[in-house]
Structure formats: structure tokens, C-alpha cells
Amino acid sequence: MRFIPIENAEIEVDLIDVKSRQRAPIVFLHEGLGSIAMWRSRGSYWPQLVCQATRRNGVVYSRRGYGQSSSVDDVRGANRLQPDYMHHEAWKVLPELLSILKIDNPVLLGHSDGATIALLFASRFPTLACIAMAPHVMVEDISISAIKAAKLSYESGDLMNRLSKFHQDVDCAFWQWNDVWLSPAFRSFDIRKACQQITCPLLAIQGRQDAYGTLQQIEDIAPTGLIERQVVENCGHSPHRDQPDATLAYVTAFLADKA
């Protein structure tokens, strides 16, 4: 594990080395409440499994305010996230991180908010391939209902305790995500037009039982390049946790013929 300074913050980064120098590495982008540690499930570190199966090195990082990355002061006040926070991550922070790591033309693999960030990056920067698991391309009522339920669970249920093992500042991690999603200004968030600028091969994966979005989220992605859509049965918002074997198989097959 290492820390990389970006925008006056220390960003937690895990570099996965499977001794591959010939293929583009995979950059893993976590969900709205995720972190490096959140990629671990059922005793397995899913990015490691993906890198081994595809024979690619990997980069996993925690965005600011998540995991062990620098926290954010006054996250519910002066420094609260704005509706364009995923654009900022995709078009400012991620390019700087890749520049520091000397990575060009990466493979991006994102989940939820991370999938949205991957799509936005691919719409503007050279990308070998993009994998979007349960992305948010627009805001739906089902998403807001699920996020309101998460707020109730955090305030009066066990969600805070469950998340605390993944973040050094769990309040920062939760509220910077929850507040912006439940803000009136965020209801107009929509990246479908930006997705039309994506020219790289794209794999969009979503669970049939996703509580945070309908299948319209992947059906409405219309890139210039080729797109493959996979709907995973008996699966909620986290394909890599709910159906890890099937999801890994989709990713491995998709990347098999990529440089």
C-alpha cells in the first residue's frame, strides 16, 4: 500500500503486480461508499482475482474521504460535494493519478459511482476498454429511495458500524456521498450525452435485482464504440459480490482479445 499526493490530499493506492508488462493495466474505481478494503468479500480480494484471470497488473485506490485516504473537513458544510463531483474525479483527479503512475490508455473497471467515473473518463481520455458495473447515468426515483433508506440505516441502524471497518473517517465517507445524492441539485444529473462520446469497447453489467437503479441505466448507454451488455440474474447492486464467478467470467471474456 502507498499514498500519492493529489490536490492537497494523500490518496491510498494499492498496486497489484502479476508480472504483466505487455498488457494495459486495470484501474479499479470503487462505489459511492467504497474503498480499497471494500473490494474484499468472502475472503477474496476481487481486483486480485481479476488481475490474475486477465493477466494484467492493477491499480486500486480510495477516493478522498474514503478508506485510508485523507479525510475532508466540514464535509457537510463548506466542503460538501457538488453535483459534478464524479466529473471532477474523472476529468481531474484520475488523469493526475494516471500521470503520476505513468499509465496511458488504461482499462477501467468501475462499480456504481466508480462505474460512472469510468464512463466519464472514457468519454474524454484515451481508454483501451471500459467496464461499468451498475453505473448511474441518470438519477431515478428508485435510486433516491434506496439512498434515503441508507440514510435511515446509518442514523438508526447498523450501517455505521458495518462501514466503519472500511473507512478511517466513516462519517466523512457516508455523508459526502449521501448529502449530494439527496440534494435537489443532483436530480438533474445525467451523463447519457457524454457517454455518446465513448469510442473504446465497453462492457456494461447490472444485476437484475439492483435496488439502486433499473436496467435503463445500462440500456441508455449509447457510445460511438462497441458495447456489450450483461444482465446478471439473482444479483443486486454489486455483481462482483453477489455473483462473483459469473461477473469475473464476463470481465475475463471481454478483455481476452484486448491488448
Number of domains in the chain: 1
Alpha-carbon distances, residue 148 vs 142, 143, 175, 179 (angstroms):
10, 9, 12, 10
Instruction: Tell me how many degrees the CA angle 205-175-168 measures, rounded to the nearest 5.
Output: 90
CATH code, domain carrying 230: 3.40.50.1820
Beta carbons of 79 and 8 less than 8 angstroms apart = no
Domain residue limits at 82: 2-255
* pLDDT above 80: residue 42: no
Q: Where are the alpha helices (DSSP H) in 33-158?
A: 46-54, 85-88, 94-100, 113-122, 141-156
- Locate 53 and state its grid cell: 484471470
Instruction: Tell me how many degrees the CA angle 243-135-45 measures, rounded to the nearest 5.
Output: 40
* pLDDT above 80: residue 91: yes
Q: What is the mean pLDDT of residues 222-248?
A: 97
pLDDT of residue 41: 79
Of 15, 20, 235, 254, which is closest to residue 132 (Cα–Cα)? Answer: 254
Q: What is the mean pLDDT of residues 206-231?
A: 97
pTM: 0.97
Give the mean pLDDT of the chain.
97
- Give CA–CA dist 194/156, Å, rounded: 38
pLDDT of residue 246: 97
Q: What is the mean pLDDT of residues 205-226?
A: 97
pLDDT of residue 95: 98
